[in-house]
Amino acid sequence: FKMRKEIVRLSPDILHCNDLNTLMFAYALPQNIEIVYDAHELYLESRSGIIKSFWSVVEKTLLRKVKFVIVPQIDRLYYFYFRYKLPLSKYMLIENFPNRVMDLSKDFFKIISKYNIDVNHKQVVTYLGAITPEREIELVLKAVREIDNILFFIIGNGTENYKKHLNNLIMDLKIQKKVFMYPAIPNKEVLHAVNSSDIGVCFYNERHFNSYFCASNKLYEYLNLGVKVLTNNTAGVARVVKHGENGFCCDCITVDEVRKGLITLLNMKNFVPTDYYWSNQEEHFLSIYK
Three-state SS sequence of 159-173: CHHHHHHHHHHHHHH
CA distance 76 to 69: 11
Residue ranges of the chain with per-residue pLDDT less than 70: 111-116
DSSP state letters, 39-65: --S-GGGG--HHHHHHHHHHHHHHGGG
For the entire predicted model, the pTM comes to: 0.89
CA distance 237 to 220: 10
Q: What pLDDT was estimated at residue 28?
A: 82
Closest CA to 266 of 240, 230, 235: 230
List pLDDT tens digits, range 279-288: 999 999 999 9
Q: 210-229 burial by CB neighbour count: b if 16+ within 10 A, else e?
A: bbbbbbbbbbbbbbbbebbb
Q: What pLDDT was estimated at residue 244?
A: 84
Q: What pLDDT was estimated at residue 205?
A: 82
